[in-house]
């Protein structure tokens, strides 16, 4: 592939540190961590070393780290597993990832309104918890995966934990999948009872994830299997993917002080450059003063469906995303964009450009030229077609 | 030429894309996501998108997916239900061609700088004088799909390629096999793509319109039986009326929705000397003289003369008496093998 890859929020290349960790596992003798011999012990040690690394980064105990097959499984285990143990229903904002919306809907959960940047309405959450004792779990993403909006999780936790006399405790889960590469998760892990991350968004391998389950959180396995992961997640853990996740998470954390200001600057330059070239037919979807992930830009394009724009960008060697996509590969108007109240003629033209750990300044310049020109061209053609 | 080839995942459209590629065109494949609901018979499911993607991969083509499900609901599914409610017989494939494949997709193709769109329909675009064009029958008479393409006007025809028009279906399958396409032996899609074979038309419509039980009577008004939903009965229909066998086959002559009455009779009672049509549209200007009219997707063409009524419709006079056409059904007029007009039966 040649061109500028600006879809790091969908998945990001394997970091060299993660590759080295994977290679080590692949070169090592086979061993099932659950076995009772030297081979098993060696594998177990690698798995627990990786667990320790993740625990250190999140400032939690190693026993609170549960390996899963990815962010989706981690979210599902948090919601389905807690409710299986506690009973009751979940609640989440309307802008959550489908990995959360799916299990919330299946459990008959409540969906909460958000503001124009995708932040959960805390008053609505407070009222819901006052009015409805059946809500036992609230799930709020630390950062929205489409818009990049960061959430004040401490404020959410304060509402969830507010003393409500005579009421059972309500638990808080946070999907930190989108935030993980860019945010120190120790604070979120203190605020929440459960926290999900995914390996491939960090520069590890797809097919790996972690659910942090804070001590004292009731949880029943969704996949009981052979009782692995202290009976919270059955099945033999994917050792190579787990060590890659741990190595990638550590590398991401080490790079943050330098990467965050650089990517934020490049992102701002990207947005300004596209706006300058495409004129009034494009606008940032969330206001400038909203706190967002550093490398993510979400734009709304007038009158041009995202699908058409993405084909044009693809032809010109720029990888971007409509923010959401369905199983068939088509781009649907996003539920996130609908929830924050973006109307026609902007609603169908969602464009997410996401920078990552290996993005170069040349990628950003190319994206400015290509995206700006493509939007301007398509809008001229649309206007010419009389639509 | 830069061509956007619509690929349904079936054998026809895959081979059509391959033929264009082999002619040296710059071909990009696109699959339309049209229907979010369940489907087991048509061309819109995730598994069909997967088939199309793999076919494009095998052919070395870039492949995209366009989600046109909102347009499809608005222009195809809703009118399909509304037609049934009004007692008309719809043809959703024609509406899909009119509003989706040769409208929304063609528009997107133009925006993206494509010179033409292509499909795997068995039909031809026949050149005429002065750069004019007509849809013409495909080489495989049994598979001919010119009927459902009658809605294409000059604007659309100028930017449409139908590479399968000169091939028979066995030739298409041989080419697919030679290309190593795994869809070479995939069965043809059939029926209405958004209605599942398992639950059927009745369940689908029952969720969208009120279905009215009705009486089945003979031409003298004597009650012969009952039907569960008059909206599902079509003029010309013989089966599914729940009538006792033994006597000569009985056909639906008329469906009267206000009184929920289905009148049946013998085949001869269906024959009429003339047929009124509405929404007459000539694809390349008025053509006089004797023409041929085809009244269903694979019906036989019959000689006819056309008298326009000055109100957008016409009276078709059959050379010999023909069966009455179900109201709503498309009537397509041909000069020889070429489509010259389309209309809807009144």
Burial class (CB in 10 A: 0-12, 13-18, 19+), A205: buried
Structure-token pair, residue A356: 């990552």
Residue of B nearest to A307 (CA): B66
Sheet holding A209-213, edge to edge: A65-68, A209-213, A194-198, A171-175, A135-139, A89-93, A110-112
Burial class (CB in 10 A: 0-12, 13-18, 19+), A322: buried
Instruction: Choose the final residue of a domain: B265, B296, B328.
Output: B265
Say how many Å lie between the first and final Cα of chain A, rounded.
Answer: 35
Contact B33 A327 (CB under 8 A): no
Is B184 within a domain? no
- On whether both B257 and B278 belong to a single domain, the answer is no
Burial class (CB in 10 A: 0-12, 13-18, 19+), A98: middle
Q: Which of A112, A171, A19 is nearest to A339 (CA)?
A: A112
Task: Specify the pLDDT at position B212.
Answer: 95
Contacts B31 to A, Cβ<8 Å: 328
Do the Cβ atoms of B293 and B333 come closer than 8 Å?
yes
Contacts of residue A385, defined as CB under 8 A and 6 or more positions apart, other chains included, come to B107, B110, B111
CB-based contact, A384 to chain B, within 8 Å: no
CB-based contact, A327 to chain B, within 8 Å: yes
Mean pLDDT on B48-76: 92
Contact A381 B111 (CB under 8 A): yes
CB-based contact, A326 to chain B, within 8 Å: yes
For position B282, which CATH number holds?
A: 2.40.30.10
Contacts B53 to A, Cβ<8 Å: 329
CB-based contact, A311 to chain B, within 8 Å: yes
pLDDT tier, B46 (very low <50, low <70, confident <90, very high otherwise): low
Contacts A307 to B, Cβ<8 Å: 64-67, 108
B contact test, residue of A330, A348, A379 with most B CBs within 10 A: A330
Contact A328 B108 (CB under 8 A): no
The pTM of this model reads 0.89
Contacts A312 to B, Cβ<8 Å: 112
Helix or strand (DSSP H, E) at A186: helix A186-191
- The full DSSP string for B45-87 is SHHHHHHHHHHHHHHT-EEEEEE-HHHHIIIIIHHHHHHHHTT
pLDDT tier, B44 (very low <50, low <70, confident <90, very high otherwise): very low
pLDDT tier, A328 (very low <50, low <70, confident <90, very high otherwise): low
pLDDT tier, B243 (very low <50, low <70, confident <90, very high otherwise): confident
Contact B111 A378 (CB under 8 A): yes
Query: For residue A158, what is the DSSP state?
Result: H
Residue of B nearest to A332 (CA): B67
Is B90 within a domain? yes
User: How many Å lie between the alpha carbon of B49 and the closest alpha carbon of chain A?
Assistant: 6
**What are the CA-CA distances from residue B147 to residues A171, A337, A351, B298, B323 (Å)?**
62, 41, 40, 8, 18
Q: Which of A143, A23, A152, A19 is nearest to A71 (CA)?
A: A143
Contacts B66 to A, Cβ<8 Å: 307, 330
- Is A298 a residue whose pLDDT tops 70? yes
Residue reference for tokens 């992961």: A229
- On whether both B259 and B276 belong to a single domain, the answer is no
Ramachandran assignment for B168, one of left (phi > 0), alpha (psi -120 to 50 degrees), beta (any other):
beta
Q: Is the ipTM of this complex over 0.90?
A: no
- On whether both B27 and B81 belong to a single domain, the answer is yes
- On whether both B162 and B237 belong to a single domain, the answer is no
The neighbouring-strand residues paired with B307 are B315
Ramachandran assignment for B258, one of left (phi > 0), alpha (psi -120 to 50 degrees), beta (any other):
alpha
A92 catalytic, yes or no?
no
Is B198 within a domain? no
For position B159, which CATH number holds?
A: 3.40.50.620
- On whether both B297 and B258 belong to a single domain, the answer is no
Q: Which of A323, A332, A316 is nearest to A372 (CA)?
A: A316
Contacts A328 to B, Cβ<8 Å: 31, 33, 46, 49, 65, 67
Is B17 within a domain? yes
Contacts of residue A216, defined as CB under 8 A and 6 or more positions apart, other chains included, come to none
The neighbouring-strand residues paired with B66 are B32
Domains, in order of start, for chain A? 4-11+255-384 (3.90.1150.10), 16-250 (3.40.640.10)
Q: How many domains does chain B have?
A: 3
- On whether both B225 and B325 belong to a single domain, the answer is no
pLDDT in tens, B331-346: 999 999 999 999 999 9
CA B327, CA B306: separation in Å to the nearest integer? Answer: 18
Residue of A nearest to B110 (CA): A381
For position B227, which CATH number holds?
A: 2.30.30.280
Mean pLDDT on A94-105: 97
CA B20, CA B1: separation in Å to the nearest integer? Answer: 9
Residue reference for tokens 């993206």: B112
CB-based contact, A387 to chain B, within 8 Å: yes
- On whether both B174 and B229 belong to a single domain, the answer is no
pLDDT in tens, A162-199: 999 999 999 999 999 999 999 999 999 999 999 999 99
Query: For residue A97, what is the DSSP state?
Result: -
pLDDT tier, B190 (very low <50, low <70, confident <90, very high otherwise): low
- On whether both B310 and B167 belong to a single domain, the answer is no
Lowest average pLDDT, out of A303-317, B35-49, B102-116, B312-326, goes to B35-49
Structure-token pair, residue A150: 């960061």
Residue range of the domain that includes B15: 2-178
- On whether both B250 and B302 belong to a single domain, the answer is no
Identity of the residue in A308, A328, A331 whose CB atom sits nearest the CB atom of B111: A308
What Rg, from alpha-carbon coordinates, does chain A have? Answer: 21
Burial class (CB in 10 A: 0-12, 13-18, 19+), B188: exposed
pLDDT tier, B41 (very low <50, low <70, confident <90, very high otherwise): very low
CA A228, CA A231: separation in Å to the nearest integer? Answer: 5
pLDDT in tens, A138-162: 999 999 999 999 999 999 999 999 9
Contacts B46 to A, Cβ<8 Å: 327-328
Is B192 within a domain? no
Q: Which of B271, B284, B272 is nearest to B315 (CA)?
A: B272
- On whether both B77 and B164 belong to a single domain, the answer is yes
User: How many Å lie between the alpha carbon of B128 and the closest alpha carbon of chain A?
Assistant: 27
CB-based contact, A344 to chain B, within 8 Å: no
Contacts of residue A358, defined as CB under 8 A and 6 or more positions apart, other chains included, come to A12, A13
Residues of B with CB under 8 A from a CB of A: 28, 31, 33, 46, 49, 53, 62, 64-67, 107-108, 110-112
Do the Cβ atoms of B38 and B196 come closer than 8 Å?
yes
Catalytic-role residue among A163, A326, A327, A385? A326
Is B191 within a domain? no
Mean pLDDT on B97-125: 97
Higher pLDDT, B272 or B51: B272
CB-based contact, A312 to chain B, within 8 Å: yes
Mean pLDDT on B61-80: 94
Q: Give me the count of residues in chain A.
A: 387
User: How many Å lie between the alpha carbon of B105 and the closest alpha carbon of chain A?
Assistant: 10
**Torsion over CA: B37, B40, B42, B43 (sign):** positive
Is B224 within a domain? yes
pLDDT tier, B129 (very low <50, low <70, confident <90, very high otherwise): confident
Identity of the residue in B28, B67, B112 whose CB atom sits nearest the CB atom of A332: B67
Is B205 within a domain? no
Largest CA distance in chain A: 74
- Is B308 a residue whose pLDDT tops 90? yes
Task: Specify the pLDDT at position B43.
Answer: 44
Residue of B nearest to A376 (CA): B111
Do the Cβ atoms of A335 and A323 come closer than 8 Å?
no
- On whether both B125 and B237 belong to a single domain, the answer is no
pLDDT tier, A225 (very low <50, low <70, confident <90, very high otherwise): very high
Q: Residue A316's CB: how many other CB atoms inside 10 A?
A: 16
- On whether both B260 and B274 belong to a single domain, the answer is no
Residue of B nearest to A305 (CA): B108
What are φ and ψ of residue A126, in 5° steps? -60, -45
Burial class (CB in 10 A: 0-12, 13-18, 19+), B340: buried
CA A286, CA A95: separation in Å to the nearest integer? Answer: 14
**Angle between helical axes of B11-22 and B169-178 (0-180°, round to 10):** 70
User: How many Å lie between the alpha carbon of B196 and the closest alpha carbon of chain A?
Assistant: 19
């Amino acid at each position: 592939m040649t061109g500028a890859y600006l879809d790091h929020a969908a998945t990001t290349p394997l970091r060299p540190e993660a590759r080295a960790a994977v290679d080590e596992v692949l070169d090592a003798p086979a061993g099932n961590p659950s076995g009772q011999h030297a081979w098993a012990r060696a594998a177990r040690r690698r798995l627990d070393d990786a667990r320790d690394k993740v625990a250190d980064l999140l400032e939690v105990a190693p026993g609170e780290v549960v390996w899963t097959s990815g962010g989706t499984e981690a979210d599902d285990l948090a919601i389905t597993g807690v409710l299986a143990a506690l009973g009751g229903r979940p609640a989440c904002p309307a802008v959550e990832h489908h990995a959360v919306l799916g299990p919330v809907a299946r459990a008959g959960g409540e969906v909460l309104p958000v503001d124009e940047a995708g932040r959960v309405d805390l008053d609505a959450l407070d009222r819901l918890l006052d009015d409805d004792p059946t809500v036992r779990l609230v799930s709020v993403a630390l950062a929205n995966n489409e818009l990049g909006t960061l959430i004040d999780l401490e404020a959410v936790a304060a509402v969830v934990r507010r003393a409500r006399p005579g009421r059972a405790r309500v638990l808080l889960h946070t999907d930190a999948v989108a935030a993980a590469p860019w945010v120190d998760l120790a604070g979120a892990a203190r605020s929440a009872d459960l926290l999900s991350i995914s390996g491939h968004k960090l520069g590890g391998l797809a097919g790996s994830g972690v659910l942090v389950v804070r001590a004292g959180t009731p949880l029943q396995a969704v996949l009981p299997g052979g009782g692995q992961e202290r009976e919270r997640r059955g099945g033999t853990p994917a050792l190579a993917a787990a060590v890659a996740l741990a190595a990638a998470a550590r590398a991401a954390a080490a790079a943050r002080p330098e990467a965050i200001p650089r990517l934020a600057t490049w992102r701002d330059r990207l947005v300004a450059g596209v706006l300058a070239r495409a004129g009034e037919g494009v606008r940032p979807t969330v206001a400038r003063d909203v706190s967002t992930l550093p490398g993510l830009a979400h734009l709304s394009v007038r009158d041009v469906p995202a699908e058409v724009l993405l084909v044009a960008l693809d032809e010109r060697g720029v990888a971007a995303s409509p923010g959401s996509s369905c199983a068939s590969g088509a781009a649907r108007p996003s539920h996130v964009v609908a929830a924050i109240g973006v109307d026609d003629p902007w609603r169908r033209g969602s464009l997410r450009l996401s920078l990552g750990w290996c993005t170069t300044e040349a990628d950003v310049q190319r994206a400015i030229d290509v995206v700006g020109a493509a939007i301007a061209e398509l809008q001229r053609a649309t206007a010419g077609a009389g639509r | 030429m830069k061509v956007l080839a619509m690929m349904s995942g079936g054998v026809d459209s895959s081979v059509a894309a391959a033929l264009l590629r082999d002619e040296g065109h710059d071909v990009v494949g696109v699959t339309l996501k049209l229907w979010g609901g369940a489907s087991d018979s048509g061309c819109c499911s995730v598994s069909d998108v997967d088939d199309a993607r793999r076919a494009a991969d095998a052919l070395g083509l870039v492949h995209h997916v366009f989600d046109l499900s909102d347009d499809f609901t608005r222009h195809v599914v809703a009118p399909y239900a509304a037609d049934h409610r009004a007692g008309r017989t719809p043809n959703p494939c024609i509406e899909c061609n009119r509003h989706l494949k040769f409208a929304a997709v063609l528009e997107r193709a133009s925006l993206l700088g494509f010179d033409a769109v292509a499909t795997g329909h068995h039909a031809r675009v026949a050149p005429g004088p002065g750069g004019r064009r007509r849809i013409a029958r495909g080489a495989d008479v049994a598979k001919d799909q010119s009927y459902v393409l009658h809605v294409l006007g000059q604007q659309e025809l100028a930017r449409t390629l139908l590479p399968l028009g000169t091939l028979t279906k066995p030739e298409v399958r041989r080419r697919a096999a030679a290309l190593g396409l795994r869809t070479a032996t995939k069965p043809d899609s059939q029926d209405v793509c958004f209605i599942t074979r398992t639950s059927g038309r009745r369940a689908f419509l029952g969720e969208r319109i009120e279905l009215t039980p009705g009486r089945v009577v003979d031409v003298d008004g004597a009650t012969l039986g009952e039907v569960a939903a008059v909206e599902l009965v079509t003029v010309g229909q013989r089966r599914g009326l729940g009538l006792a066998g033994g006597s000569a086959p009985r056909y639906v002559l008329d469906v009267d929705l206000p009184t929920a009455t289905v009148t049946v009779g013998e085949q001869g009672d269906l024959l009429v000397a003339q047929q009124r049509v509405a929404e007459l549209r000539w694809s390349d200007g008025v053509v006089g003289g004797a023409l041929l009219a085809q009244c269903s997707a694979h019906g036989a063409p019959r000689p006819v003369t056309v008298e326009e009524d000055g109100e957008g419709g016409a009276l078709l006079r059959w050379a010999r008496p023909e069966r009455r056409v179900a109201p709503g059904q498309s009537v397509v007029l041909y000069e020889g093998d070429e489509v010259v007009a389309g209309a809807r039966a009144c």
